[in-house]
Structure 1
Amino acid sequence: MDPLSPPRQDVWLRMEDPSAIGAARRIATALAEDRNFGEEHVGQVAVAVSEAASNLVKHASSGMMLVRPHASSPATIEVVSIDDGPGMADTVGPIRDGYSTAGTLGIGLGAITRLSDSYDIYSRPGVGTVLSMRFTAKDAPPPDSRACGLYRPVGDEVECGDAFAYEDTGTVVTAIVCDGLGHGLAAAIASREAIRVFRERSDSSPTTIVERVHNSLGHTRGGAVAVVRIDRSTGSVRYTGIGNISGWICHSEGRQGLVSVPGIAGHKARTFREFQYELPPHGVVVMHSDGLTERWDLTSYPGLLTHTAPVIAGTLLRDAAIRRDDACVLAIRADR
């Protein structure tokens, strides 16, 4: 991909008034039609997305929704909604049609679970809710839900200077996170170039990929880059990073940091070092740019580590993202 070409846009919609419900529905419907979902399936997507958007507008003081093509499955539409609203202690009861906690129709979660091909929800009273849904075209294989990356630009910027990519074979997943220096278009160009280089030879070692990215970013602003390779069959993690990308292995007892060396890919890099770690059977690897604070702890969210990658990534983006910077977070489950 030409680094100057338009990137795949992940647009977050602010769900602050009823007009946003129609906007989310139109985006989802257009994506479904482009993927030849069929009239009935398109209608199901429209209803489920409308219900999720309506819940945000009615109940959340600050709700956001992302509707996008899935990162690794072109035949799938992915929806992620996050809010810091009242939350729910019970996410099972509301799945029954007719159940209501606020005098509304109460069909929201029931429709979502019935009409989406897969979904996941995590909610805590007084904290908020994160919901993910996926819709896949008929006869297309459903995507794996063990890896998910989310990003959003700072403020009113259109371009995000942070980016991610991953290749997942089921047994081995290789992933990259890049934070282009600064923000805006120039930072985005650096990150896009890093992703382009990664996709050319994602089967190379993490160190080789980072070296190739470094050699390719000289004509850009440069940035922070980290690459991880996770072998789920052996429980091993190999990691190479330069700059301030944060990497973590998270488990039920806490988390372990992954080491990056100082520098700026494309400009200042003395050496590249690859580190190897052991991954617990149900561990989760999290990588993020410095657009997220490091002051988070997944063990403070009861049960979150048992949820899918989109919900884990969405929770971190909601609670740890810094408002004055681009933000990107990637979550990868180690489940075999």
Structure 2
Amino acid sequence: MKLIFAGTPEFAAQALRAIVAAGHDVALVLTQPDRPAGRGMSLQPSAVKKVALDNGIEVFQPLTLRDAEAQAKIAAIGAEVMVVAAYGLILPQVVLDMPRFGCINIHGSLLPRWRGAAPIQRALLAGDAETGVCIMQMEAGLDTGPVLLRGAFPIEASDTTATLHDRLAELGAKLAVEALGKLPLPAEQQPAEGVTYAHKIEKVEALIDWSKSAAELDRHIRAFNPFPGAQALFGGQTVKLWQATPVAGEGEIGTILAVDRGSVVVACGAGALAVSELQKAGGKRLPVQQFLAGHPLKVGDHFDLPA
């Protein structure tokens, strides 16, 4: 099948690899312009661009798809379908209508739950029991189109955004190839009930509020791993918390109840949190024993409470 692929991060790159491996004719790849990154802040290509270049596929990096020149380039391909995954640009209706089979999107949630930008983090924060991928026929609304294929799996107690991302990317790639092999597929309209929006993650959300329950804070830490990292304040300094387990315990909120080689136990609004991996600003992620060697914490110390 002759197609155009539009995507930017690693989640999308995995799908592009699978589509190329399945033998489809990827005639053009759309991806975001190169962005400054790393210590030197030099321009870096997206994960999708790297895959495209490795496979000799033409890359197009427009700032918008609303101008006539960009639209003419896409139309000239004569693609049967466009596959979109975490692209980052709005596709106007004229572009959605260009391919014979329209545009299909790989979305990392069980629609209509978690439409929008951050479905993985929102599912974790909400304590959802499962997540998955929907292959959706795109329309002008935000993730409102009918679903062509879906796959689901349980969210484990140890899952982080990083681990869920990898499992969802793998499932999304598999379903995208399956969908391409079966087009046209029957379309299942999304129900009006159960719609939720996965708003973009803001860094300010990463700050830990110790008045919440240990179960909520456990999900919080896992949801913000790897970005931007759950943040606690101690003596006015930021400390990132990377790994923790809810445990029994009670005391004044934010107070350290116990310290040993394996964890620092902190009182929460309900229960306590045994923190086992921390990172001071400018430092490395460290297991508790190594962290305590340079940053002694003791029973009775308090983490700062949000203002």
Indicate the TM-score class for this superposition, using the shorter chain for normalisation: under 0.3
Which structure carries more relative contact order (alpha carbon 8 Å, separation 6+)? 1
Q: Which has the larger radius of gyration?
A: 2
